[in-house]
């Protein structure tokens, strides 16, 4: 069953088109993982996260700067190349300026029926963010109701919360297996699993996760896991990179990135106020560096993950020109190293030089392992 | 018509010890460093340097590896089959057909530098044909941290060869000649080769930090123009060694092979 996620990842556009034909529902492109998907699911829509394809492209130059992060350019290129023509709408919850301009460019050049910008605060730590963001989430709900021409009821919202939470919980249960001495799934497989939850129908995705959970206790990989690694970064879904790392003596056992654990780590906690539960979930989730000030809660979270999953080293995957991460990384690197986790920093583009990356990864593994050579 | 001089061409050579009687040796280990520009093979007999060669890398790694080992074994009476364990390293490390194992040149240069310049070496700079690595290591030559230049190969060995041709100056003379000027020339643009070298390398070392003692390996270490400017920039003298800086990678690889033999490989 684990193979299903890769199949979904590879055929993600075909899946969305078929979903639309099958259900007659609306497909909404989500920009950034801060979009409150509970409400989209409550409205019986399919949220599809807009991600890139890791191919060279030459279509975004007239629209956004070359010094915008590769993920922005790769994502916009997919739209300009017509790969997301099935989208009925697009939504951005504010995170960084690069992606906001990418979203605006998308709205100008790729008009859709419904487009919405959620001005989510970046200072999520202030108490004012709670009431403010709840209000914004309510406005988003109202806009969606107007678009679909019917109310999104409390019952709908409860279902949305339940469906999202189920998927999050199952993903965490699968991640638990990565704590084992010999994890029954590779980092590459886990990446496909986490990233597909961002664009496959959540119920369908959860059903497969449940089947996988039955399979994992008996699953043995025909490989020595080698050095246990953590991947730290942003939207890093470069499968070829993970494959390479796991072919030279390492296994990625945990990640802290928005293509992975940051997306699903916490749940919406219903407490009588549904909209507050949804809004707070996004304020309280493991933050993107752009939403992690004035205090830095992220560093402690990264270290806890590294310890829980017994990572022997961390690969810091810096998306080129991603300023929020670039601001965090020098201190994060120092922090991890002071706490006994060696790091390797690599700069990622939409396409990456696997050969040069390979020698760095191999040498990194040798510095961790290596005693048998002396 | 006058024969065209190849200014870039550096001397390829091989050497073997007239003193070591390899047939009495218990452990025969080899290291093969197939780099982007040059290839070396080095043979250790009971941990002592017995023979090595230093050649230009050809169009494919397996051939270059064979040529290098044949060069090292020339006139020694030793054959490939006498070598008990071989470690491949360098850019072509996974394409050394007779190697038992591949180890990165980062690990090998640190180990080689440890042998060549002693256990007090803590910072190694490998300036090679197409890239540059700053390495920290412990008293055994085990790497503790490293940094490589990322995208640009400007100012590395191959760049120096191109410049030698362009200026019609034999490559071995270029470093000394660079001091026969009254004042340092204006820097060329930061993306360009020869003079960008010391600036770029010192930045790289600045990011990882230089710890005493400091040693330079790789072909560019033979260019006094680069070495002296680098020392001035860093305010630290590089440790000198009697060995050819270019064999550090192959030496490190052979030392690993020797250790693995001792451990029963």
- Mean predicted confidence (pLDDT) in B205-218: 86
Nearest to A374 among B145, B148, B259 (CB): B259
Pairing mode of beta strands A27-31, A46-49: parallel
Picking from B92, B106, B109, B208 by the largest number of A CB atoms within 10 A of its own CB, the best residue to mutate is B106
| Rg of chain B in Å (alpha carbons) | 18
CATH T-level assignment (fold) for domain A23-145: Rossmann fold (3.40.50)
Nearest chain A residue to B93 by CA: give it. A359
Q: Which residues of B touch A329 (CB under 8 A)?
A: none
CATH topology classification for B13-106+247-262: Nucleotidyltransferase; domain 5 (3.30.420)
| pLDDT tens-digit series, residues B71-118 | 999 999 999 999 999 999 999 999 999 999 999 999 999 999 999 999
Ranges of each domain in chain A: 23-145
CB atoms inside a 10 Å sphere around CB A218? 7
Chain B: residue whose CA lies nearest to A353:
B151
Of A347, A363, A374, the CB nearest to B146: A363
> What's the CA gap between B38 and A129, in Å, rounded?
61
Distance (Å) from the alpha carbon of A333 to chain B's nearest alpha carbon: 13
In whole angstroms, give the CA distance from residue A369 to residue B146.
15
DSSP state of A327: H
Nearest chain B Cα to A358, which residue? B104
Chain B residues with a Cβ under 8 Å from any Cβ in chain A: 103-107, 111, 140-146, 148, 150, 256, 259-260, 263
Residues present in chain B in total: 265
Q: Nearest residue on chain B to A349, judged by CA atoms?
A: B151
Q: Which residues of B touch A342 (CB under 8 A)?
A: 145
User: In chain A, which residue's Cα lies nearest the Cα of B143?
Assistant: A367
Among A296, A44, A372, CA closest to B257:
A372
Q: What is the reported pLDDT for B189?
A: 56
CB–CB contact B143 A373 (8 Å): no
* Residue B60, number of CB atoms within 10 A of its CB: 11
Which one has a higher pLDDT value, B149 or A53? A53
Which of these, A126, A124, A160, A125, lies nearest to A140 by C-alpha position?
A160
Closest approach of chain A CAs to the CA of B133, in angstroms? 10
Four-residue CA torsion sign, A152, A158, A163, A169: positive
Is residue A347 less than 8 Å (CB to CB) from chain B?
yes
CA atoms lying within 13 Å on the CB side of residue B177:
11
Give the closest of A359, A362, A370 to B142, CB-based: A370
DSSP per-residue string spanning A16-45:
HHHHHHHH---EEEEESTTS-HHHHHHTT-
Domain ranges of chain B: 13-106+247-262, 119-241
Residue B171 half-sphere exposure toward CB, CA atoms < 13 A: 22
A354 touches chain B (CB under 8 A): no
Question: Helix/strand/coil (H, E, C) string of chain B?
Answer: CCCCCCCCCCCCEEEECCCCCHHHCCCEEEEEEECCCEEEEEEEECCEEEEEEEEECCCCHHHHHHHHHHHHHCCCCCCHHHCCEEEEECCCHHHCCCCCEECCHHHHHHHHHHHHHCCCCCEEEEECCCCEEEEEECCCCCEEEEEECCCCCCCCHHHHHHHHHHHCCCHHHHHHHCCCCCCCCCCCCCCCCCCHHHHHHHHHHHHHCCCCCEEEECHHHHCHHHHHHHHHHHCCCCCCCCCCHHHHHHHHHHHHHHHHHHCCC
In this structure, the strands spanning B132-137 and B214-217 are unpaired
Q: How many residues in chain A?
A: 374
Contacting residues for A133 by C-beta, under 8 A, at least 6 apart:
A120, A121, A124, A279, A280, A282, A283
Give pLDDT < 50 ranges for chain A.
Answer: none
The strand pairing partners of A346, in sequence order, are: A317
* Cβ burial, residue A308 (10 Å; 0-12/13-18/19+): middle
The DSSP annotation for A70-125 comes to: HHHHHHHHHHHTTTTTT-SEEEEE---HHHHHHHHHHHHHS--SEEEEE---S-TT
Q: Residue A24, Cβ neighbours under 10 Å: how many?
A: 8
For A317-327, write each residue's pLDDT tens digit.
999 999 999 99
Q: Do domains B13-106+247-262 and B119-241 have the same CATH topology?
A: yes
Measured CA distances, B169 to A223, B160, B178 (Å): 54, 11, 11
Sheet with A313-319, edge to edge strand ranges: A250-256, A227-233, A313-319, A343-348
Is the minimum CB–CB distance between A154 and chain B shorter than 8 Å?
Answer: no
Chain A positions touching B260 (Cβ under 8 A) are 372-373
Provide the mean pLDDT of chain B: 89
Record: contact A367-B103, CB cut-off 8 A: no
Q: Report d(CA B141, CA B139) in Å as an integer.
A: 6
Residue A28 has phi, psi (to 5 degrees) of -115, 125
Chain A residues lying within 8 Å of B144, measured CB to CB: 367
Q: Name the 3-class secondary structure at A183.
A: coil
CA of B144, closest CA in chain A: separation in Å?
6
Contact: A359, B107; criterion CB under 8 Å: no
Would you place residue B194 in the very low, low, confident or very high pLDDT band (cuts 50, 70, 90)?
Answer: very low
Locate the chain A residue with the closest alpha carbon to B141.
A374
Termini Cα distance of chain A = 43
Q: Which CATH class is domain B119-241?
A: alpha beta
The shortest C-alpha distance from B8 to chain A (Å) reads 26
Q: A373 vs chain B: nearest CA distance in angstroms?
A: 6
Element (H, E) at A136: helix A128-148
Interface membership of A362 toward B (CB under 8 Å): yes
Instruction: Name chain A contacts of B256, Cβ cutoff 8 Å.
Output: 373
State both tokens at A277. Answer: 């539960």
Nearest Cβ partner for A363 among B106, B111, B263: B106
Write the pLDDT tens digit of every residue in B39-80: 999 999 999 999 999 999 999 999 999 999 999 999 999 999
- Residue B199: pLDDT over 60: no
User: Which residue, among B62, B60, B44, has the nearest Cα to B52 in the 3D structure?
Assistant: B44
Count the helix, strand and coil residues of chain A and give each as a percent rounded to the nearest 5. 50, 10, 35
Give the sign of the dihedral formed by CA A133, CA A40, CA A205, CA A7: negative
Q: Do residues A66 and A56 make contact, with C-beta atoms less than 8 angstroms apart?
A: no
* C-alpha to C-alpha distances, B187 to B156, B163, B199, nearest whole angstrom: 16, 15, 9
pLDDT of residue B178: 85
| Whether A363 and B145 lie within 8 Å, measured CB to CB | no
Of the candidates A61, A73, A124, the one whose C-alpha atom is nearest the C-alpha of residue A98 is A73
**What are φ and ψ of residue A100, in 5° steps?**
-65, -40
- Provide the angle, in degrees to the nearest 10, between the axes of the packed helices B196-208 and B224-234: 40
pLDDT above 60 (res B1) = no
Q: B104 and A363: CB-CB below 8 Å?
A: yes
In angstroms, the CA A284 to CA A305 distance is 17
- The beta-carbon neighbor of B259 closest among A359, A367, A373 is A373
Nearest CA in chain B to A361: B104
CB pairs under 8 A between A and B: 41
In this predicted structure, what is the pLDDT of residue B131?
82
A108 touches chain B (CB under 8 A): no
B256 with A373: Cβ contact below 8 A: yes
Which among A342, A356, A363 has the least Cβ separation from residue B107?
A363
> How many C-beta atoms lie closer than 10 Å to residue B120's C-beta?
11
**Predicted confidence band of residue B155 (pLDDT cuts 50, 70, 90):** low
Pair B101, B84: CB distance under 8 Å: no
A374 with B142: Cβ contact below 8 A: yes
**CA-CA distance, B86 to B103, in Å (whole number)?**
11
| CA count, 13 A, side-chain hemisphere, A262 | 26
């Amino acid at each position: 069953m684990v193979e299903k996620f890769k199949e979904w990842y590879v055929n993600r556009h075909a899946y969305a088109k078929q979903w639309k034909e099958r259900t007659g529902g609306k497909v909404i492109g989500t920009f950034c993982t801060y979009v409150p998907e509970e409400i989209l699911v409550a409205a019986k829509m399919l949220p599809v996260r807009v991600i890139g394809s890791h191919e060279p492209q030459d279509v975004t130059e007239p629209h956004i700067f070359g010094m915008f992060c590769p993920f922005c350019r790769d994502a916009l290129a997919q739209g300009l190349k017509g790969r997301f023509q099935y989208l009925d709408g697009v939504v951005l919850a504010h995170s960084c300026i690069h992606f906001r301009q990418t979203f605006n460019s998308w709205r100008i050049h790729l008009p859709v029926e419904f487009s919405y910008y959620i001005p989510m605060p970046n200072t999520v730590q202030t108490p004012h963010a709670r009431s403010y963001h709840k209000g914004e989430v309510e406005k988003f709900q109202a806009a969606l109701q107007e678009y679909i021409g019917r109310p999104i009821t409390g019952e709908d919202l409860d279902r949305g919360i339940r469906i999202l939470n189920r998927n999050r919980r199952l993903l965490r249960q699968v991640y638990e297996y990565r704590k084992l001495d010999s994890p029954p799934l590779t980092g590459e497989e886990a990446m496909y699993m986490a990233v597909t939850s961002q664009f496959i129908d959540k119920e369908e995705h959860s059903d497969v996760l449940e089947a996988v959970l039955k399979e994992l206790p008996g699953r043995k990989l025909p490989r020595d896991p080698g050095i246990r690694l953590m991947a730290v970064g942003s939207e890093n879904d470069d499968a070829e990179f993970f494959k390479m790392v796991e072919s030279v003596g390492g296994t990625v056992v945990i990640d802290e990135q928005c293509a992975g654990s940051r997306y699903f780590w916490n749940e919406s906690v219903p407490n009588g106020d549904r909209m507050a539960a949804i809004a707070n979930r996004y304020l309280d989730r493991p933050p993107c560096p752009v939403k992690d000030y004035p205090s830095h809660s992220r560093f402690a979270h990264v270290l806890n993950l590294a310890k829980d999953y017994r990572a022997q080293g961390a690969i810091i995957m810096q998306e080129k020109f991603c300023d929020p991460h670039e601001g965090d990384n020098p201190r994060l690197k120092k922090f991890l190293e002071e706490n006994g986790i060696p790091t390797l920093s690599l700069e990622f583009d939409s396409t990456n030089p696997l050969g040069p990356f390979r020698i760095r990864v191999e040498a990194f593994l040798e510095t961790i392992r290596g005693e048998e050579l002396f | 018509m006058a024969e065209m001089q190849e200014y870039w061409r550096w001397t390829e050579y091989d050497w073997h010890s007239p003193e070591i009687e390899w047939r009495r040796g218990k452990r025969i280990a080899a290291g093969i460093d197939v780099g982007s520009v040059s290839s070396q093979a080095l043979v250790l007999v009971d941990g002592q340097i017995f023979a090595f060669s230093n050649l230009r890398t050809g169009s494919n790694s397996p051939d270059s590896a064979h040529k290098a080992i044949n060069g090292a074994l020339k006139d020694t009476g030793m054959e490939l089959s006498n070598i008990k364990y071989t470690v491949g390293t360098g850019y072509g490390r996974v394409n050394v057909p007779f190697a038992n194992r591949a180890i990165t040149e980062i690990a090998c240069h640190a180990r080689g530098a440890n042998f060549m310049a002693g256990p007090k070496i803590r910072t190694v700079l490998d300036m090679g044909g197409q890239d540059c690595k700053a390495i920290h290591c412990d008293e055994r030559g085990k790497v503790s941290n490293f940094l490589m230049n990322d995208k640009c190969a400007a100012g590395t060995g191959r760049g120096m060869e191109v410049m030698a041709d362009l200026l019609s100056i034999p490559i071995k003379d270029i470093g000394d000649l660079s001091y026969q000027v009254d004042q340092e020339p204006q820097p060329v643009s930061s993306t360009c080769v020869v003079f960008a070298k010391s600036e770029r390398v010192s930045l790289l070392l600045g990011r990882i930090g230089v710890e005493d003692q400091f040693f330079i390996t790789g072909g560019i270490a033979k260019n006094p123009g680069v070495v002296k400017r680098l020392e001035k920039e860093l305010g630290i003298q590089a440790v000198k060694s009697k060995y050819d800086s270019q064999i550090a990678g192959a030496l490190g690889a052979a030392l690993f092979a020797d250790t693995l033999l001792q451990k029963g490989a």
